[in-house]
Amino acid sequence: MHPRIPRRKFLKTVGLGALAGAGAQLLGSTGAAEASATAGADISKMPRLFSGCCAYSYNEALRKGTMTLEDFIRKAVELRVDGVDMTAYYLKSTDPEYLDGLRRLAYKNAMPLSGSACGVSMVQATAARRAGSLTEIQKWVDVTDRLGASHLRVFAGELPPGATLQQGIDWTVETLKASVDYSGKKGITLGLEDHNGVTQRADVCLEIMHRVNSPYAGINLDVTNFIPTPAQDVYAQIAECIPYATNTHIRDRFEYDHSPVDLDRVWRLFAQAGFKGYMSAEYEGPDSETGVPKLVAQIRNLCRKYSNG
């Protein structure tokens, strides 16, 4: 049997430096292992998919006044989503004090704002009306900036009577170009939603993106709003637009025929493209109190399944 060596004598004999070196070596090997696991990884191909919820999911309650945007932020905490889309339709005002209060409430609840949204239409037949749309969008860029968000959803809109699709595209490009010139100076990206009207086909959305050609312009990609064409089904159109996607809106049924969306297939497309951003519930069913939590649960599970975030 070896005699017990007092702790102080042992430390003096071995030396604190040697022990510290051994600990550093152990920590260093752990760090090296972690580093080697990601060494050479192409970050651009790594998906980071986060759950979100649009205020529009509670449209009826927010419009009736039985829910406020403050309530919505708290509800999002309860739903355990990663961020909220503060749809501008429900703001009580655009006074700085009110916007600052929403921003502070979100911060105190650790609830990031994935963006804001306005309903301005860019498809306007006269120069004066397009100038008015630009002024409105600039106003909502300022509101978004005050809220502390970095993304604003915008719409092209529906064609006026007698207008052609190409005219609608041209008007949208003109207004969106001027809008991102303004928003880019504040670091705010504008996401053009694929929506009823001009932007219901991927080829139209992509033409607009190519012509605007700005890092501050993208597609607010609602996965349910495309209309199938002879050349592409809706999933092919979603996949084609993902490289330009800013935010993503999720519902569980397609708008054009109300058939169910294969959400797992949708998540695979985003993961394969290395998308980084929010997959936000935009529920439109009859009972938001039960429907939104169910949709959000699907979204959260799929984000965990397919994301490295």
- Tens digit of pLDDT per residue, the chain (309 long)? 444 544 444 344 444 344 344 444 433 444 444 444 445 567 878 999 999 999 999 999 999 999 999 999 999 999 999 999 999 899 999 999 999 999 999 999 999 999 999 999 999 999 999 999 999 999 999 999 999 999 999 999 999 999 999 999 999 999 999 999 999 999 999 999 999 999 999 999 999 999 999 999 999 999 999 999 999 999 999 999 999 999 999 999 999 999 999 999 999 999 999 999 999 999 998 899 999 999 999 999 999 999 976
Phi and psi (nearest 5°) for 126? -115, 155
Express each pLDDT in 140-185 by its tens digit: 999 999 999 999 999 999 999 999 999 999 999 999 999 999 999 9
Which residues have a Cβ under 8 Å from the Cβ of 119 and sit 6 or more positions away? 88, 89, 155
Q: How many Cα atoms occupy the beta-carbon half-sphere of 300 within 13 Å?
A: 13
Measure the CA–CA gap between 173 and 122, rounded to whole angstroms. Answer: 9
Asked whether 288 and 57 are in contact (CB, 8 A), the reply is yes
**Are 279 and 303 in contact, with CB atoms under 8 Å apart?**
yes
Return the bridge partners of 280, or none: 52, 249
Q: Indicate the pTM of the whole model.
A: 0.86
Q: Which residue matches tokens 């968000």?
A: 149
> Contact at 8 Å (CB) between 51 and 299?
yes
Asked if residues 188 and 152 have their Cβ atoms less than 8 Å apart, the reply is yes
CA distance to 210, 270, 280, per residue, from 264 (Å): 29, 10, 15
Give the span between the Cα atoms of 220 and 242, in whole angstroms. 10
Q: Do the Cβ atoms of 52 and 80 come closer than 8 Å?
A: no
